[in-house]
C-alpha cells in the first residue's frame, strides 16, 4: 500500500534538504482527526535550521509541493504542519489491497529472523494456575503476530519437570501410592501426596534424607525413579492438554527443565573460566553487585544440586545452538523480574555471541486479581483453571440463551464466546497491569470485551448476508472490484478506512513492544467506529452503488475483526 507518511516526508525533505528517513520518524498522528491525518512537529527542526518552529512551518507550507491526489492539503497550527490525505486515495488503497491479497496485513518483514517464545511452562505435578493461563494467552498472541509478519517463530513449553520436589514425590508415592488413584484425578492426587510427604519431611529427617537420595537416583537415571517421574509427567501433561484443547496453545517443543539439566556442568565450566564463580556458604554463586543487581545469582546449591537459574543459563546455550535465535522472549509474571535480570546478566559470561545475549527479553505481566483479592495457589484462594474455563462457557451459554434462545449450535457458540471473553480480558490492558477478573465485566456484550468484538463481527456478517452476498464468494468472484469508493468520503467511513489502513502498523507495534493489548485496543476502536458508522448510515439502501460501497466497508471491518481476533487466539462464531 502507498505509504502516506513517506509521501509527506519526501515532500518536506525537498524543501528543507534533510534526510527524508529522519523526517519520517518525526511524523505523528494527531489525537483529533480534525487536526489532520498526519502532523509534522516543526520544533524538531528548530535547532538544525536555527529558526523558530512557527517560521519553519510557514516556510515549508509556502514551498512544499504536494500531489493533491495523495495529500489534499496542509495547514499550519502553531509550529505544526497538519496534513490531510486524499480521501478517495485512501479508500482506493485499502480496496486495492483487499482485492490483491489473500490475508490482509500479512507480511514478510520478519523473514530470516528467528524468534523463540518461552511461554505457558506449567509445572509437573502442580496445578496449571492462572499465571500460566496469562502466560499462555500472551505468548500465543505474540506467537501468532510474529508469525503473521513472516518471522520464523518457535513456541517452547519449558515445563517445570525437575527439582528436589520430585525426590519427595517419589518417596510419597512409594509410601502411599496404593491409597490413591492418580490416573483418575492426577493433579489433585499428586498435590495431596506432595503436601503429605512435605509434612512428614518436616518432622522426620530420615524421610527427608530418603527423598534426597531419590532425587539423586533420578539424576543418575535409576529405572524405578525415572519410571515414576515419567508417570507423573505424562499424567500432568494429559491434564494440561485438556486446558490447551480449550484455550489453544501451539508448541514446537516440550523440552522442560529436566532435559536441560544435563547441560548444567558445561555452564559451570564456562562460568569458572570467567573467573566470577565463587563459593559462599558451600554454594556457588556470582556476585552481580557491580552490574547493579544486589542479590547474587546462585548457580549450585550447597547440597550440590543445580538451580532454576543454572538451568535457565544452560537453556540459553542450548537454544542459541538449536534455534540461532534473534530474539528469545520469556513470558512470566513480574514475580520473576529479578531472576531474569540475574540470568541475562550472567549469560554474558558464557562466551556467547552478543547477538544472543542482546536478544534475551523478559516479557513480564501483572497479577490476576479476583474482585476479592489475589488468585493464588499458595494463599488458598485456589481457582482450578479447568473449572474457570468451564464456568466461562456456562455463563456465556446463559447470556446467549437469554439474548437468542432459538439459535442453533449453542454449545459451540458458548465455547467461542466464553473462552474468547477470558482471552480478551487477559489481553485488554497493558500486560504489566494487574488484571481484575470480574465475570460481569468480561462477558458484557456492550463493554470493551471479547464478546463485543465477536458481536460486531457477527453483525457485519449478517448485514452482508442480508444484502444477498455470500461471503465465501467475495474473494473468488471479485465482488468488490467495481465498487465506487467516492461514496466513502464521509467522516465515519473515513475513520474506519484509516484504522483499516493502519492494521499492519499496529501489528508491528505489537511485536516491537511485545504488547498484544495494542491489538486488542485497536479492535475495540474498529468495532466502535463501525457502530458509529452504522448508527448514522443505512447500509442496505436503494442506490446500488452506495449500497455496495457500504457493504464493502462492512466487509473489511468484519475481516479485520476476524483476523485480528484470530491473532489474539480468539475464534469467531458465525452467529450469536
Ligand atoms: N515453570 C516456571 C513457573 O511456573 C516458569 C518457567 C519460565 N521459563 C523459564 N525459562 N524460566 O514459574
| 3-state helix/strand/coil string of 15-43 | HHCCCHHHHHHHCECCCCHHHCCEEEEHH
Quick check: 316 pLDDT over 70? yes
- Domain shared by 514 and 391, yes or no: yes
What percentage of the chain reaches a pLDDT higher than 90?
Answer: 85
The residue nearest atom 6 of ligand 1, judged by CA position, is: 121
| Ligand 1 shell residues, CB under 6 Å | 118, 121, 123, 158, 160, 312, 315, 330, 332
- Domain shared by 46 and 179, yes or no: no
Query: Residue 81 is placed in which grid cell?
Result: 504542519
Q: How far is the CA of 114 from the centre of ligand 1 (A)?
A: 21
Quick check: 542 pLDDT over 60? yes
Q: How far is the CA of 250 from the centre of ligand 1 (A)?
A: 17
* Residue 252 belongs to a domain: no
pLDDT digits (tens, 9 = 90+) for 405-425: 999 999 999 999 999 999 999
Q: How far is the CA of 123 from the centre of ligand 1 (A)?
A: 8
The residue nearest atom 1 of ligand 1, judged by CA position, is: 160
CATH number for the domain harbouring residue 28 = 3.30.1360.70
* Residue 172 belongs to a domain: yes
**Between residues 126 and 314, which one has the greater pLDDT?**
314
Which residue matches cell numbers 448485514?
Answer: 463
**Domain count along the chain:** 3
The DSSP bridge partners found for residue 71 are 85
**Between residues 385 and 573, which one has the greater pLDDT?**
573
HEC sequence for 343-402: HHHHHHHHCCCHHHHHCEEEEEECCEEECCEECCCCCCCCCCHHHHHHHHHHHHHHHHHH
Q: Which of 236, 216, 234 is nearest to 163 (CA)?
A: 216
- Domain shared by 61 and 187, yes or no: no
The answer to whether 158 and 121 are in contact (CB under 8 A) is yes
Q: Which of 153, 160, 168 is nearest to 113 (CA)?
A: 153
- Domain shared by 415 and 523, yes or no: yes
- Domain shared by 394 and 502, yes or no: yes
Contacts of 1 by beta carbon, 8 Å cutoff, 6+ apart? 93, 94, 96, 97, 501
Ligand 1 test: best mutation among 130, 309, 332, 338, most atoms within 8 Å of CB? 332
- Domain shared by 391 and 489, yes or no: yes
- Domain shared by 414 and 538, yes or no: yes
The answer to whether 251 and 120 are in contact (CB under 8 A) is yes
Q: How far is the CA of 147 from the centre of ligand 1 (A)?
A: 23
- Among 85, 116, 141, give the residue marking a domain's end: 85
Q: How far is the CA of 364 from the centre of ligand 1 (A)?
A: 12
Domain extent at residue 453: 385-568
CATH number for the domain harbouring residue 547 = 1.10.730.10
* Residue 109 belongs to a domain: no
DSSP one-letter code for 296: P
CA–CA dist 201, 222 (Å, integer): 22
pLDDT digits (tens, 9 = 90+) for 345-391: 999 999 999 999 999 999 999 998 876 655 544 444 556 788 889 99
pLDDT digits (tens, 9 = 90+) for 92-113: 999 999 999 999 999 999 999 9
Ligand 1 test: best mutation among 160, 161, 257, 310, most atoms within 8 Å of CB? 160
* Residue 255 belongs to a domain: no
Residue 322: which H helix or E strand, with range? helix 308-323
CA–CA dist 470, 123 (Å, integer): 47
Atom of ligand 1 nearest to the CA of 315: 10
Q: Which of 92, 8, 2 is nearest to 485 (CA)?
A: 92
Q: What is the pLDDT of residue 478?
A: 78
Contacts of 281 by beta carbon, 8 Å cutoff, 6+ apart? 302
Determine the distance from the C-alpha atom of residue 213 to the mean position of all C-alpha atoms in its chain, rounded to a whole number. Answer: 42
pLDDT digits (tens, 9 = 90+) for 203-217: 999 999 999 999 989
Query: Residue 549 is placed in which grid cell?
Result: 460501497
* Residue 301 belongs to a domain: no
Atom of ligand 1 nearest to the CA of 132: 4
Q: What is the pLDDT of residue 175?
A: 95
- Domain shared by 171 and 79, yes or no: no
Q: What is the pLDDT of residue 379?
A: 44
Q: Where are the alpha helices (DSSP H) in 110-183?
A: 130-148, 165-176
HEC sequence for 210-278: HHHHHHHHHHCCCHHHHHHHHHHHHHHHHHHHHHHHHHCCCCCECCCHHHHHHHHHHHHHHHHHHCCEE
Q: Which of 443, 400, 409 is nearest to 423 (CA)?
A: 443
Q: Which of 203, 206, 119, 109 is nearest to 154 (CA)?
A: 119
Q: How far is the CA of 344 from the centre of ligand 1 (A)?
A: 14
The residue nearest atom 5 of ligand 1, judged by CA position, is: 121
* Residue 11 belongs to a domain: yes
Q: What is the pLDDT of residue 377?
A: 43
The DSSP bridge partners found for residue 153 are 115
**pLDDT class for 470, splitting at 50, 70, 90?**
confident
Question: Quick count: other Cβ atoms within 10 Å of Cβ 193?
Answer: 24
The Cα-based distances of 194 to 10, 33, 190 in angstroms read 67, 60, 6
pLDDT digits (tens, 9 = 90+) for 148-196: 999 999 999 999 999 888 999 999 999 999 999 999 889 889 989 999 9
Q: Mean pLDDT of all residues in the chain?
A: 94
CA–CA dist 74, 60 (Å, integer): 10
CA–CA dist 208, 227 (Å, integer): 21
What percentage of the chain reaches a pLDDT higher than 70?
Answer: 98
Q: How far is the CA of 121 from the centre of ligand 1 (A)?
A: 6
Ligand 1 test: best mutation among 129, 336, 342, 365, most atoms within 8 Å of CB? 336
Q: How far is the CA of 332 from the centre of ligand 1 (A)?
A: 7
Query: Residue 382 is placed in which grid cell?
Result: 485456589
Q: What is the pLDDT of residue 373?
A: 56
Determine the distance from the C-alpha atom of residue 101 to the mean position of all C-alpha atoms in its chain, rounded to a whole number. Answer: 25
**Taking phi first (over 0 means left), then psi (-120 to 50 degrees means alpha), and beta for anything else, what does residue 79 get?**
left
Atom of ligand 1 nearest to the CA of 339: 11
Atom of ligand 1 nearest to the CA of 160: 1
- Domain shared by 189 and 78, yes or no: no
- Among 85, 100, 124, give the residue marking a domain's end: 85
- Domain shared by 421 and 561, yes or no: yes
Q: Which of 69, 98, 64 is nearest to 82 (CA)?
A: 64
Q: What is the pLDDT of residue 371?
A: 65
403 SS3 class = helix
Instruction: Please tell me the least confidently modeled range out of 281-290, 369-378, 529-538.
Output: 369-378
Q: How far is the CA of 375 from the centre of ligand 1 (A)?
A: 18
- Domain shared by 71 and 172, yes or no: no
Average pLDDT over residues 544-553: 95
- Domain shared by 175 and 69, yes or no: no
The DSSP bridge partners found for residue 76 are 81
Q: Tell me the CB-side half-sphere exposure of residue 464, using CA atoms within 13 A.
A: 25
- Among 25, 57, 85, give the residue marking a domain's end: 85
Instruction: Please tell me the least confidently modeled range out of 20-24, 288-292, 379-383, 461-465.
Output: 379-383
Atom of ligand 1 nearest to the CA of 332: 7
Quick check: 519 pLDDT over 90? yes
Phi, psi of 347 (to 5 degrees): -60, -25
Amino acid at each position: 500500500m502507498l505509504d502516506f507518511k513517506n509521501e509527506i516526508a519526501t515532500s518536506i525533505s525537498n524543501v528543507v534538504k534533510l534526510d527524508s528517513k529522519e523526517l519520517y520518524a518525526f511524523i505523528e498522528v494527531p489525537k483529533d482527526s480534525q487536526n489532520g491525518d498526519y502532523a509534522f512537529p516543526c520544533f524538531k527542526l528548530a535547532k538544525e535550521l536555527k529558526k523558530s518552529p512557527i517560521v519553519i512551518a510557514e516556510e515549508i507550507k509556502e514551498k512544499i509541493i504536494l500531489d493533491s491526489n495523495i495529500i489534499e492539503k496542509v495547514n499550519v497550527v502553531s509550529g505544526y504542519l497538519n496534513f490531510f490525505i486524499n480521501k478517495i486515495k485512501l479508500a482506493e488503497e485499502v480496496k486495492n489491497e483487499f482485492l490483491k491479497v489473500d490475508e490482509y496485513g500479512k507480511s514478510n518483514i520478519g523473514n530470516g529472523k528467528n524468534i523463540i517464545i518461552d511461554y505457558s511452562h506449567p509445572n509437573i505435578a502442580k496445578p496449571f494456575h492462572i499465571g500460566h493461563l496469562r502466560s499462555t494467552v500472551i505468548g500465543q498472541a505474540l506467537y501468532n503476530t510474529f508469525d503473521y509478519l513472516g518471522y520464523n517463530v518457535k513456541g517452547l513449553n519449558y515445563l517445570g519437570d525437575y527439582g528436589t520436589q520430585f525426590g519427595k514425590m517419589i518417596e510419597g508415592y512409594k509410601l502411599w501410592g496404593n491409597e490413591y488413584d492418580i490416573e483418575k484425578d492426577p493433579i489433585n492426587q499428586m498435590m495431596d501426596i506432595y503436601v503429605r510427604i512435605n509434612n512428614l519431611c518436616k518432622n522426620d529427617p530420615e524421610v527427608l534424607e530418603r527423598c534426597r537420595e531419590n532425587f539423586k537416583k533420578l539424576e543418575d537415571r535409576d529405572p524405578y525413579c525415572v519410571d515414576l517421574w515419567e508417570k507423573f509427567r505424562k499424567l500432568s501433561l494429559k491434564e494440561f492438554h485438556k486446558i490447551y484443547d480449550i484455550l489453544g496453545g501451539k508448541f514446537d517443543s516440550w523440552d522442560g527443565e529436566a532435559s536441560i539439566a544435563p547441560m548444567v556442568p558445561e555452564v559451570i565450566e564456562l562460568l569458572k573460566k570467567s573467573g566470577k564463580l565463587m563459593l559462599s556458604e558451600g554454594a556457588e554463586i556470582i556476585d552481580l553487585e557491580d552490574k547493579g543487581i544486589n542479590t547474587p545469582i546462585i548457580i549450585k546449591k550447597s547440597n550440590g544440586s543445580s538451580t532454576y537459574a543454572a538451568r535457565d543459563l544452560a537453556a540459553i546455550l542450548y537454544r542459541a545452538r538449536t534455534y540461532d535465535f534473534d530474539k528469545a522472549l520469556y513470558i512470566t509474571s513480574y514475580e520473576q523480574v529479578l531472576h531474569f535480570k540475574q540470568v541475562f546478566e550472567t549469560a554474558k559470561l558464557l562466551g556467547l555471541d552478543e547477538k544472543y545475549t542482546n536478544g534475551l527479553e523478559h516479557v513480564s505481566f501483572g497479577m490476576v486479581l479476583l474482585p476479592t483479592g489475589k488468585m493464588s495457589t499458595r494463599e488458598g484462594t485456589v481457582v482450578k483453571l479447568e473449572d474457570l474455563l468451564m464456568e466461562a462457557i456456562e455463563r456465556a451459554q446463559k447470556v446467549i440463551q437469554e439474548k437468542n434462545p432459538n439459535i442453533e449450535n449453542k454449545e459451540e457458540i458458548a465455547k467461542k464466546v466464553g473462552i474468547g471473553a477470558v482471552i480478551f480480558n487477559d489481553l485488554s490492558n497493558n500486560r504489566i497491569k494487574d488484571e481484575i477478573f470480574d465475570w460481569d465485566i468480561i462477558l458484557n456484550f456492550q463493554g470493551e470485551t471479547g464478546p463485543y468484538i465477536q458481536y460486531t463481527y457477527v453483525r457485519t456478517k449478517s448485514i452482508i448476508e442480508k444484502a444477498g452476498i455470500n461471503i465465501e464468494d467475495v474473494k473468488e468472484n471479485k465482488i468488490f472490484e467495481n465498487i465506487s469508493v467516492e461514496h466513502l468520503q464521509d467522516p465515519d467511513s473515513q475513520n474506519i478506512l484509516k484504522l483499516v489502513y493502519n492494521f499492519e502498523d499496529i501489528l508491528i507495534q505489537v511485536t516491537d513492544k511485545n504488547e498484544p493489548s495494542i491489538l486488542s485496543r485497536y479492535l475495540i476502536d474498529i468495532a466502535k467506529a463501525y457502530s458509529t458508522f452504522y448508527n448514522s448510515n443505512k447500509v442496505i439502501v436503494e442506490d446500488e452503488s452506495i449500497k455496495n460501497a457500504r457493504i464493502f466497508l462492512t466487509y473489511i471491518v468484519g475481516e479485520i475483526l476476524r483476523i485480528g481476533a484470530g491473532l489474539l487466539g480468539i475464534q469467531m462464531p458465525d452467529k450469536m
